[in-house]
């Protein structure tokens, strides 16, 4: 029996909105849980004392419910099964949590209201739900102690909250893992819907397979779920769901490697695991006759809309993108084709697939301007990161994003290996600017009008830096066109469409005749015209930041070259001076730099760097355009630059070739540049028009080869 004192306590001391529930022994549906008042979910104000007396004194058998959500300032997490409890609370302090339960294994956890967490509808496999505001603005019903369950069990708090501050704030780590788990639950529903029926039957039974047969069953089950959309990380959740406390992370990872190499196709599964996956034991999941109308044939609309109920699509220029794991990915046509064949079975025809594809293309046509371009938000592996609030929002198909950074946001993560790598390969004054460049590549923004060129000969870390950038931003978000190809191949520019970065290691040192495309791509142009082979030209807004590396910078044709201010002002050159040889080479460095924790730590550092870049509106790059131009020319054509800086025309003065070459080598050493070999030096000098003569010089009794009418600056010329 609920006395009015409990209702008054919740109302007056905690400010909660409570309402009456049916008696535990009533004949209503869900006895003890069913609300007895109309519009209870929209209640925003606590009950008056008169209403409390009416509901809980006159109606002595009523249970008591909470309107969870903003109205009461409370978000409740409902566990009907504690299988994932240890995973969610690993490393989380739960000592002060407020918990209500009526029996072991089923609990309500009370937290301060979190507007990010909306009510979930239940019906999943993990048996965890959020009880809070729903999408219509109403609250959720939560049975409060000391209500009585239909089984006779009494709901009890582990400790009765006395004031609002007794309700804890949900820890960020717990929230992050909870959202990840709920997303997995949704993905599992979709994957199971697309899989054969034996998988759902098995998971619903709750059996735990062991032994050789059990292992083969799990291999079959996980292979089919992988084929139908689950990720390898989510397969670990499947293992927890099935094995509970027996889950072994390392064993699961080992078994995943076993099935990685298999073609994930139904025919392969039938051959490998016939006792679990044979077609005779499967039933039709869909009634294909539902999609055919009498005398009219296939209802394309009914079939397409049914598929769109399961998947979220959007279409750009006839390319269908499908929402998977928090991001829209291309080649949605494959998903549509598989869904049509799944639903129509042997009645499926190529014309049916094409008609459904055309329907979905038209129904989901999207302007690229409708994509999320707000640089405040970044789609990361474990949610949508709000940069301003530094918090995660759950993934949603309503967040129209085609770029996802393959790193988890963990505000406490560090990246000691990456920081050490930056110190080892970069000059101290360049470290901040390189972190800013990585941060700049996180968002679709080219207004800084910059590109990066990493320069240096030998094993000096350039390729590892490029690999780290691609691993951090994501291979799916990268194109790989060289500067030469962009300028010379009319189809190359199209490959940058929709990408965040374009990278190319080891640029050729051959001469580049034009840099007009380079200027367009780095010039913050609103639209760039591109063309794919056999397709009409199209326009797009470039968001791919250009990052190149080279042993030597490619020469720029004289008509474009060292006088071209607009080319050099767009370029940031990062010298890689340190060469790593022998025992100093770490063959496993790339793997060490790209662990999950290192990438999460890198995300934190680059977010700080991006904030700094936006605040300063410029990179922390200390070289002027003139210095950048000289550095570029030094690397691309050191001999010509040497002549410009150190050679003077002096009629009647002749300088020995050996002296000139030694002066050139010293000049290169001063700038930490590897000099050209002597025979190459002589050939280039000849091309530059410097004439050689054999003549006597003072102090020598023989004639030697000299450069005619040629004087070295700074008094380095021998007297003739």
Please tell me the predicted confidence (pLDDT) of residue 224: 80
Q: Residue 365's beta-bridge partner residues? A: 315
Are 231 and 156 contained in the same domain?
Answer: no
What total number of domains does the chain contain? 5
Distance CA 487, CA 479 (A): 15
- On whether residue 383 sits in a domain, the answer given is no
Q: Which residues contact 143 (CB under 8 A, 6 or more apart)?
A: 21, 32, 33, 63, 64, 65, 66, 108, 149, 155
In a domain, 178, yes or no: no
Say if residues 597 and 407 touch (Cβ distance below 8 Å).
Answer: no
Considering the domain architecture, whether residues 217 and 350 belong to the same structural domain is answered as no
Write down the pLDDT at residue 567. 87
* Residue 517 · residue 525 · CB < 8 Å: no
The whole-number pLDDT of residue 371 equals: 73
Token digits for 517? 């495309």
pLDDT at 261: 46
Stretches where the chain sits below pLDDT 50 are 261-274, 277-285, 559-563, 715-720
pLDDT at residue 29, rounded to an integer: 64
- Give yes or no: residues 30 and 62 share one domain: yes
Give the pLDDT score at 605. 97
Instruction: Please report where in the chains the tokens 């949900």 appear, as a residue.
Output: 170
- Let me know if residue 624 belongs to a domain: yes
Do 146 and 85 share a structural domain?
A: yes
Q: Are residues 262 and 338 in the same domain?
A: no
**Boundary-marking domain end, from 260, 281, 302:** 281
Last residue of a domain, one of 630, 650, 680: 630
φ/ψ (deg, to 5) at 638: -65, -30
Give the global pTM. 0.59
Helix, strand, coil % over all residues of the chain, rounded to 5: 40, 15, 40
Which range of residues forms the domain containing residue 237? 195-281
Q: Measuring CA to CA, which residue among 352, 365, 369 is closest to residue 291?
A: 352
Tokens of 582: 């022998």
Give the pairing type, strands 383-386 and 377-380.
antiparallel
**What is the pLDDT, as a whole number, of residue 546?**
96
Q: Are residues 619 and 656 in the same domain?
A: no
* Residues 646, 682 within the same domain: yes
In b/e form, how buried is each residue of 434-464, taking b as 16+ CB within 10 angstroms? bbbbbbbbbbbbbebebbbbbbbeeebbbeb
Neighbouring C-alpha atoms within 13 Å toward the C-beta of 448: 28
- Ramachandran bin of 461, using left for φ above 0, alpha for ψ from -120 to 50, beta for the remaining angles: left
Q: What confidence tens digit (pLDDT) does each residue in 522-545 have?
A: 986 668 888 888 778 888 889 999
DSSP three-state, residue 495: helix
What CATH number does residue 686 fall under? 1.10.10.10
Instruction: Indicate whether 151 and 259 sit together in one domain.
Output: no
Is 650 in the same domain as 598?
no
Q: Has residue 186 been placed in a domain?
A: no
Please indicate, yes or no, if residue 612 is contained in any of the structural domains.
yes
For 615-660, give the DSSP string.
Answer: HHTS-S----HHHHHHHHHHHH-HHHHHHHHHEEE-TT--EEHHHH
Q: Do 445 and 474 fall within a single domain?
A: yes
Same domain, 435 and 575: yes
Residue 574 covered by a domain = yes
The per-residue DSSP string of 92-106 comes to ---TT-EEEEEETTE
Q: Does residue 175 lie within any of the structural domains? A: no
Among residues 591, 612, 630, which one ends one of the domains? 630
Q: Are residues 430 and 502 in the same domain?
A: yes
Do residues 131 and 32 touch, judged by C-beta distance below 8 A? no
Residue 714's pLDDT is 62
- Cα atoms found within 13 Å of the Cα of residue 30, Cβ hemisphere only: 9
Please check whether residue 385 lies inside any domain of the structure.
Answer: no
The per-residue pLDDT for range 97-156, each reduced to its tens digit, is 999 999 888 899 999 999 989 998 766 788 899 999 988 889 999 999 999 988 888 999
């Amino acid at each position: 029996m609920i006395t009015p004192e409990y209702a008054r306590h919740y109302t007056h001391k905690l400010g909660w909105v409570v309402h009456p529930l049916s008696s535990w022994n009533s004949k209503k549906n869900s006895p003890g849980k069913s609300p007895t008042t109309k519009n209870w979910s929209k209640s925003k104000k606590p009950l008056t004392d008169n209403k409390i007396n009416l509901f809980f004194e006159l109606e002595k058998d009523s249970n008591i419910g909470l309107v969870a959500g903003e109205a009461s300032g409370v978000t409740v997490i409902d566990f009907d099964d504690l299988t994932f409890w240890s995973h969610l609370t690993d490393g989380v302090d739960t000592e002060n949590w407020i918990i209500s339960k009526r029996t072991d294994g089923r609990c309500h956890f009370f937290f301060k209201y979190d507007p990010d967490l909306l009510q979930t509808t239940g019906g999943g496999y993990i048996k965890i739900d959020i009880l809070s505001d729903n999408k219509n603005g109403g609250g959720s019903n939560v049975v409060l102690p000391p209500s009585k369950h239909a089984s006779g069990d009494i709901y009890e708090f582990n400790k009765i909250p006395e004031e609002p501050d007794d309700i804890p704030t949900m820890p960020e780590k717990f929230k992050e893992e909870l959202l990840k788990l709920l997303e997995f639950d949704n993905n599992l529903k979709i994957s199971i819907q697309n899989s054969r029926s034996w998988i759902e039957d098995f998971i619903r039974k709750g059996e735990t397979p062991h032994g050789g047969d059990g292992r083969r069953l799990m291999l079959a089950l996980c292979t089919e779920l992988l084929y139908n959309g689950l990720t390898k990380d989510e397969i670990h959740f499947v293992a927890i769901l099935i094995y509970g406390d027996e889950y072994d992370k390392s064993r699961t990872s080992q078994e995943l490697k076993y099935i990685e190499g298999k073609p994930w196709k139904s025919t392969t599964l039938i051959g490998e695991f016939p006792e679990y996956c044979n077609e005779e034991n499967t039933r039709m999941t869909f009634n294909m006759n539902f999609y055919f109308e009498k005398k009219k044939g296939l209802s394309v609309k009914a079939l397409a809309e049914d598929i769109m109920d399961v998947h979220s699509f959007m279409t750009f220029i006839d390319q269908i993108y499908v929402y998977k794991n928090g991001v829209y990915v291309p080649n949605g046509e494959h998903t549509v084709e598989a869904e049509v064949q799944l639903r129509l079975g042997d009645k499926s025809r190529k014309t049916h697939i094409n008609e459904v594809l055309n329907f979905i293309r038209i129904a989901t046509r999207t302007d690229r301007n409708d994509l999320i371009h707000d640089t405040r938000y970044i789609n990361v592996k474990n949610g949508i990161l709000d940069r301003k609030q530094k918090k995660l929002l759950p993934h949603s198909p309503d967040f129209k994003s085609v770029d996802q950074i393959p790193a988890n946001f963990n505000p406490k993560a560090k990246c000691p290996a990456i920081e050490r790598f930056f110190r080892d390969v970069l000059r101290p004054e360049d470290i901040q600017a390189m972190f800013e460049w990585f941060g700049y590549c996180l968002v679709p923004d080219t207004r800084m009008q910059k590109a990066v060129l990493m320069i240096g000969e030998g094993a000096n870390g350039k390729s590892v830096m490029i690999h780290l950038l691609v691993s951090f931003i994501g291979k799916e978000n990268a194109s790989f066109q060289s500067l030469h190809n962009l300028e010379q191949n009319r189809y190359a520019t199209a490959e940058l469409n929709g990408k965040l970065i374009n990278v190319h290691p080891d640029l050729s040192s051959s001469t580049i005749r034009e840099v007009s495309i380079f200027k367009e791509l780095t010039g913050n142009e609103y639209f760039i015209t591109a063309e794919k082979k056999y397709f009409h030209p199209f326009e797009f807004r470039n968001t791919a930041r250009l990052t190149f590396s080279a042993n030597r910078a490619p020469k720029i044709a004289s008509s474009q070259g060292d006088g071209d201010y607009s080319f050099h002002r767009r370029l940031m050159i990062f010298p890689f001076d340190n060469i790593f040889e022998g025992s100093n080479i770490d063959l496993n460095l790339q793997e060490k730099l790209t662990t999950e924790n290192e990438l999460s730590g890198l995300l934190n550092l680059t977010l700080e760097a991006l904030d700094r870049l936006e605040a300063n509106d410029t990179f922390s790059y200390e070289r002027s355009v003139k210095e950048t131009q000289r550095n570029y020319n030094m690397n691309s054509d050191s001999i010509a630059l040497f002549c410009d800086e150190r050679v003077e025309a002096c009629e009647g003065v002749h300088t020995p070739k050996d002296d000139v070459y030694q002066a050139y080598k010293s000049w290169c050493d001063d700038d930490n540049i590897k000099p050209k070999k002597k025979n190459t030096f002589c050939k280039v000098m000849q091309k530059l028009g410097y004439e050689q003569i054999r003549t006597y010089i003072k102090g020598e009794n023989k004639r030697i080869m000299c450069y005619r009418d040629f004087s070295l600056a700074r008094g380095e010329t021998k007297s003739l």
